[in-house]
Structure 1
Amino acid sequence: MSDRKIRTDGSGATVTGRLRRNVEGLTLEDVGLYVALLLMAGFYLVPIESGLVTSIKTGTAILETAPFAPPGSAGFTLEKWQTAIDALVRGMGNSLLYAVPATVISAAVGSLTAYGLTIPDWKVSYKAPLLAIIISGIFIPYQAVLVPLTQFWSQWVQLVQHLSFVWALGVPDDYAGIIELVITHVAYGIPICTLLFRTYYKNLSEEMIESARLDGASLRRVYQRIVLPLSGPMFAVVLIYQFTQIWNDLLFTLVLVSTESSPAAPVVLILAGLGTSMEGQDFALRMAGAFFAALPTLAVYIFFGDEFAEGVAA
Structure 2
Amino acid sequence: MSTQNDDSNNDGTGSGGVGARTRGLSPGRIGLYAVLLAMLAFYLVPIETGLMTSIKTNGAVIETLPYAPPGPDGFTLQKWERASSTLLRGMGNSMLYAVPATVLSAFFGSLAAYGLTVADWDERYKAVLLALFVAGIFIPYQAVLVPLSQFWGQYVQLEQLLGFVWDLGIDSDYTGIIELVITHVAYGIPICTVLFRAYYKTLSDEMIESARLDGASLRRVYRRIVLPLSTPMFAVVLIYQFTQIWNDLLFTLVLVATESSAAAPVVLILAGLGTGMEGTDFPLRMAGAFFTALPTLAVYILFGEEFAEGVTT
Normalising TM by the smaller chain, what interval?
over 0.9
Structure-1 separation of matches of 2:181 and 2:135: 21
Structure-2 separation of matches of 1:80 and 1:70: 15
Aligned match of 1:124: 123
Aligned match of 2:289: 290
1:140 paired to 2:132: no
1:143-162 matches, within 5 Å, as 143-162=142-161
Aligned letter for 2:199? Y
Deviation at 1:221, TM superposition (A): 1.2
Q: Deviations over 1:73-115 (max 9, x none)?
A: 1100001001100110000000000000000000000000000
Aligned match of 2:279: 280
Aligned match of 1:257: 256
Q: Give secondary structure in 2 for the equivalent of 1:44.
A: helix
Structure-2 separation of matches of 1:243 and 1:23: 46
1:191-206 matches, within 5 Å, as 191-206=190-205
Deviation at 1:123, TM superposition (A): 1.2
Q: Deviations over 1:193-252 (max 9, x none)?
A: 000000000111111111111222111111111111110000000000000000000000
Structure-2 separation of matches of 1:219 and 1:264: 41
Aligned match of 2:311: 312
Aligned letter for 1:189? G
88-97 or 116-125: which moved more?
116-125
Task: Go from structure 1 to structure 2 and tell me whether the alpha carbon gap of 1:44 and 1:20 turns closer, same or farther (over 3 Å shift).
Answer: farther
1:300 paired to 2:299: yes
Aligned match of 1:6: none
1:222 paired to 2:221: yes
Structure-2 separation of matches of 1:99 and 1:135: 23
Deviation at 1:310, TM superposition (A): 0.4
Aligned letter for 2:179? E
The number of aligned residues is: 296
Aligned letter for 1:303? L
Aligned match of 1:40: 39
Contiguous gaps of at least 5 residues in structure 2:
1-16
1:1-314 matches, within 5 Å, as 26=24, 27-314=26-313
Structure-2 separation of matches of 1:150 and 1:176: 13
Q: Deviations over 1:257-292 (max 9, x none)?
A: 000000000000000000000111100000000000
Calculate the TM-score normalised by the size of structure 2: 0.92
Calculate the TM-score normalised by the size of structure 1: 0.92
**RMSD after superposition:** 1.5
Moved over 4 A (4+): 19-25
Structure with higher Rg: it is 2
Aligned letter for 2:210? S
Structure-1 separation of matches of 2:31 and 2:210: 51
Deviation at 1:191, TM superposition (A): 0.2
Deviation at 1:32, TM superposition (A): 1.6
Q: Deviations over 1:118-166 (max 9, x none)?
A: 1112212211111111221111111111111111111111111111111
Deviation at 1:22, TM superposition (A): 8.2
Structure-2 separation of matches of 1:144 and 1:165: 33
Task: Go from structure 1 to structure 2 and tell me whether the alpha carbon gap of 1:247 and 1:21 turns closer, same or farther (over 3 Å shift).
Answer: farther
Q: Give secondary structure in 1 for the equivalent of 2:170.
A: coil
